[in-house]
Chains A and B, each alone.
Chain A
Amino acid sequence: MFGSNQARQMDTYTKEASPSQLNTANYGNFLKVSKDKLSVQYVGKGSHSNDVGAIQADRPVPSDVLVYYYEVHVRDAGERGVIAVGFADLHFRLSRQPGWEPNSYGYHADDGNKFHNSGKGEEYGPSFVQGDTVGAGIHLENREIFFTKNGKKLGVAFHNVKATLFPTVGLHSQNEHVEVNFGAKPFQFDIEGMVAEERDQRQQEVLRSTIPGQACHNLVCSYLRHYGYADTLKAFDADAFAQDTGPGQQNGEAFGLEDRKRVRTMLFEGDVEGARGLLVGRRPQLAEPQADGPFLDALFHLSVQQFIELLRKDKVAEAVEHARSSFSAFQGHSEQIDRHLEDVLALLAYKDPFASPMGHLMTTTQRETVADVTNAAMLDASTEGSSASTALGGSGGRGCKSVLELILVQLCRVQAEIRRRNDNKGEIFDLDQHVT
């Protein structure tokens, strides 16, 4: 509600960084890593099972993607071609092949088998040799690991993968030499195509869900009624031949739809005095700002908005006079109010408040915000003491949220809960993508 810059910054979520190169701070014996930290060569003899040289990526697989994927190109299969490609966790022993240890998963070149927590593999795919490119991927929402060879998917290798894993490669015979691609270069496998297909499949599933035929229509009606968009509601009703128009002034409502619409229109046109006049006309006690109650927020915002509107008209002296006479009544009520007052008064410091860092306060959006706060207070007042708020067509009560808002909040929460129950892995739901 308080249109400060801080609230805005909360919105931008930074995605987790992906692996970008090999971890050269800590890697297995007998390995030589190239300067660009993207190729590695085995320079030992590789005669014992503990002579494996394994190396991991600099970062773990990010937790906030649908699918993570990387590729390894075999430049030289060396003496015996015993290369392993896969994933392993932070505690992985770098003298072992990925797949031999707990929390490690590997696809091995010599036999094409898959390995997990065992020295014995299971049949999986073809073997791979010099010139081949193999890829390893994790589907974070399905908790699956899959591999590819030369651009072709080999099917799901492991299910129920939960640990936080790093891309991991193991080499074990002389002259083996591989080049790792973390996505800086194009992949052989069409990973984007796979992700697009996944999304499409999911969308088809979603579309197969059924909702009541009138759900959207009724939702829009109740939204318009809630926020007092009376003219839109009238036009919509006329167009859609809805039976349920609902009278403007409902029984027991202190402020009917018509009142709320007028207040909104006046605020939208910058007529703060008019809006306040209507409120006080209905409820004389509102002439004095109370210490508490649903109208405190609204009266505060109206008072501030009046200050802003005076500035808009370049009546600086009047604005200052208004601030002096009425802002003190609100000071100290809450930290939020005090901070907002500071922001607002800062407008005085600029020759052109519109272009100032507080310029957002001068916009129509801010008028809309004030109208919303006032509308909410009027709704609250209308449902005071009346338990049957649903009789108002879902326009009142319930923390003064419109049904549409309740639904969208529910959607965000359910999505977040799904991710939380998936060990916080998988894409983070972004409502904006579905709205814009």
Chain B
Amino acid sequence: MASLGKPGEMRQGSRDAWGHDAKGTVEVKKERMNRLVMNYFVTEGHVDAAREFARESGTATEVDLDTIKDRMLIRRAVQRGEVTEAMDRVNDLNPEILEHDSRLFFHLQQQRLIELIRQKEVDKALLFAQEYLAPLGEENPAFLEELERTLALLAFEDPSTSPVKDLLGVQRRQQAASELNSAILHAQCQEKEPKLPNLLKLLKWSQNRLDEFSDAPYPRMDDFETGETTRSSLQTPMLE
């Protein structure tokens, strides 16, 4: 029994720099980061950025960029606010994509509604909501909630200063575009999940796992925009 410890009896506060791997160093090669960025451009359908990045950084594009042209055109249509055009293009490509994904379908229809409201087409917006969105909302309470939130845009004189103004933002279009893009990717089985979001999720998951393991402190990173770590001032001497 001697060498068997009790649970929770883990080494705490080692004086070594934390988190060094078996090789003793933590180093990330530039080439790997470039490949991650290229993978992001390719999977998200940013053809021009991929092409420029290949030229500027010398990173291989992984796939023939022409094969992602469809996705690029669909993405751009959503980002321009031309959701109907994007949905037509998707259906030309593979009608099953929208048929099988009710969440995605709802989000795109919701985006159409948002675009109508943006263009101040109030009558059309209401008709569209009643005819196409309300039936979807009946099937799913979460959809209904989102529909109600979207229609709230109509209640404000200036929706762009209202509490639901986020719906009119560029980011909203981008999110819809990304969601659609990833559905097409799945249907085409061309690429797996984009790697960059997966790595961010893995970091979040890993930090939670480490927290469960023991409460020994370590610099935790919660802000993925700045890369700042909490307790970093306290922990700095431990880093090399």
- A143 closest partner in B (C-beta): B7
What chain A residues lie within 8 Å of B201 (beta carbons)? 206-207, 209-211
Q: Is the CB of B19 within 8 A of A416?
A: yes
B residues less than 8 Å from A243 (CB atoms):
170
B89 interfacial contact with A, CB 8 Å: no
Tell me whether B57 is interfacial, beta carbon within 8 Å: yes
Question: Is A205 interfacial (CB 8 A cutoff)?
Answer: yes
Interface presence of A365 (CB below 8 A)? yes
Q: Kindly state whether residue B229 has any CB partner on chain A within 8 Å.
A: yes
Q: Known contacts A364-B58, A416-B21; is A215 also within 8 Å of B225 by CB?
A: yes
Check A217 against B174 for contact (C-beta < 8 Å): yes
Interface assignment of B209: CB less than 8 Å from any CB of chain A: yes
Residues of B within 8 A of A436 (CB): 32, 35
> Which B residues from 24 to 52 make CB contacts under 8 A with A?
25-28, 30-33, 35-37, 40-41, 46-49, 51-52
Provide the main secondary structure of the chain B interface. helix
B221 at the interface (CB under 8 A from A): yes
Q: In residues 60-109 of chain A, which contact B (Cβ within 8 Å)? A: 64, 89, 102-103
Neighbouring A residues of B227 by C-beta, 8 Å: 394, 398, 401, 403, 406-407, 410
Least CB distance, A368 to chain B, in whole angstroms? 6
Across the interface, which residues of A come within 8 angstroms of B171, CB to CB? Answer: 213-214
How many residues of chain A have a CB within 8 Å of chain B?
82
Q: Is A162 an interface residue (CB 8 A)?
A: yes
Give A212-246 as 1s and 0s: 1 = Cβ < 8 Å from B's Cβ atoms: 11111111101110010101101110111111000
Q: Does B69 contact A (CB under 8 A)?
A: no
Given A241-B79, A368-B30, A407 and B200 contact (CB-CB distance below 8 Å): yes
Residues of A contacting B26 in the complex (Cβ-Cβ under 8 angstroms): 409, 412-413, 416
Cβ of A414 < 8 Å from any Cβ of B? Answer: yes
Residues on the B chain within 8 Å of A207, using CB: 193, 198, 201
Is A10 a contact partner of B46 (Cβ separation < 8 A)?
no
Given A162-B3, A418-B209, the answer on whether A232 and B224 have CB atoms closer than 8 Å is no
A219 to B198, CA, bound (A): 13
Q: Is the CB of B35 within 8 A of A435?
A: yes
Please report the C-alpha to C-alpha distance between residue A364 and residue B33 in the assembled complex, in whole angstroms.
Answer: 16
CA distance A404 to B175 in the complex (A): 21
User: For the complex, what is the distance from the CA of A227 to the CA of B56, rounded to whole Å?
Assistant: 10
Answer whether residue B112 sits at the interface, using C-beta atoms and an 8 A cutoff.
no
Contacts of B33 in A (CB 8 A): 223, 402, 404-405, 408
> Within 8 Å of chain B (Cβ to Cβ): is A432?
yes
Stretch of A29-37, A122-130, A279-287, A421-429 contacting B (4+ beta carbons < 8 Å): A421-429
When A213-B175, A235-B51 are in contact, do A372 and B30 touch as well, CB less than 8 Å?
Answer: yes
Interface centre among A162, A219, A261, A416, by most chain B C-beta atoms within 10 angstroms, is A219
In the complex, A376→B26 CA distance in Å?
Answer: 19
Cβ of B189 under 8 Å from chain A: no
Quick check: is B155 within 8 A (CB to CB) of the other chain?
no
Shortest CB distance A96–B (Å): 15
Bound together, the chains give a CA A435 to CA B37 distance in angstroms of: 10
**CB of A18 closer than 8 Å to a CB of B:** no
| Contact in complex: B224, A211 (CB < 8 Å) | yes
* Structural contact, B199 and A408, CB atoms closer than 8 A: yes
Minimal beta-carbon separation of A230 from chain B (angstroms):
8
- By a CB distance below 8 angstroms, the chain B residues around A212 are 224-225
Whether, in the assembled complex, A17 has its beta carbon less than 8 Å from a beta carbon of chain B, the answer is no
Please name all residues of chain B whose beta carbon is closer than 8 Å to the beta carbon of A240 when the two chains form the complex.
Answer: 46, 79, 174
Which residues on the B side are within 8 Å of A222 (C-beta)? 225
Answer whether residue B20 sits at the interface, using C-beta atoms and an 8 A cutoff.
yes
A434–B2 CB distance below 8 A = no
Q: Map CB proximity to B onto A365-404 as digits: 1 under 8 Å, 0 otherwise.
A: 1001100100000000000000000100010001001111
B209 and A236 contact, CB distance less than 8 A:
no
B187 within 8 Å of A (CB atoms):
no
Q: Within 8 Å of chain A (Cβ to Cβ): is B143?
A: no
Q: Report Cα–Cα, A205/B208, bound state, in Å.
A: 12
* Residue A265, interface by CB 8 Å: yes
* Beta-carbon contact of A10 and B206 below 8 Å: no
Q: How far is the CA of A75 from the CA of B191 in the complex (A)?
A: 49
- A320 contacts the other chain (CB 8 A): no
Docked complex Cα distance between A216 and B210 (Å): 23
The verdict on B63 contacting chain A, using a C-beta distance below 8 Å, is no
Asked whether, in the complex, the Cβ of B198 is within 8 Å of the Cβ of A206, the reply is yes
Residues in A neighbouring B27, C-beta threshold 8 A:
409
A117 at the interface (CB under 8 A from B): yes
Q: Given A229-B57, A417-B210, are A434 and B195 also a contact pair (CB < 8 Å)?
A: yes
Q: Is A431 an interface residue (CB 8 A)?
A: yes
Bound-state Cα–Cα, A53 to B153, Å: 80
Q: Is B1 an interface residue (CB 8 A)?
A: yes
**Smallest CB-CB separation from A205: which chain B residue?**
B205
Query: When each residue 124-148 of chain B gets 1 if its CB lies under 8 Å from chain A and 0 otherwise, what string results?
Result: 0000000000000000000000000
Whether A241 lies near B49 (C-beta < 8 A) is no
Contact of A414 among B31, B40, B207 (CB under 8 A): B207
Residue of A nearest to B219 (CB): A410
Residues of chain B touching chain A, judged by Cβ–Cβ distance below 8 Å, are 1-5, 7, 10-11, 14, 18-23, 25-28, 30-33, 35-37, 40-41, 46-49, 51-53, 55-58, 72, 75-76, 79, 170-171, 173-175, 178, 193-210, 213-214, 216, 218-219, 221, 224-227, 229
5 contacts between A and B (CB under 8 A): A163-B3, A211-B200, A231-B52, A394-B227, A414-B218
Since A236-B41, A236-B52 are in contact, a sample of 20 more A-B pairs with Cβ atoms closer than 8 Å, ordered by chain A residue number, is A211-B204, A219-B200, A219-B225, A222-B225, A223-B33, A235-B51, A241-B173, A242-B170, A364-B58, A365-B58, A368-B31, A401-B227, A403-B226, A406-B227, A408-B33, A411-B199, A417-B19, A418-B213, A421-B216, A432-B32
| Shortest beta-carbon contacts, A-B, top 4 | A413-B19, A406-B227, A236-B49, A417-B19
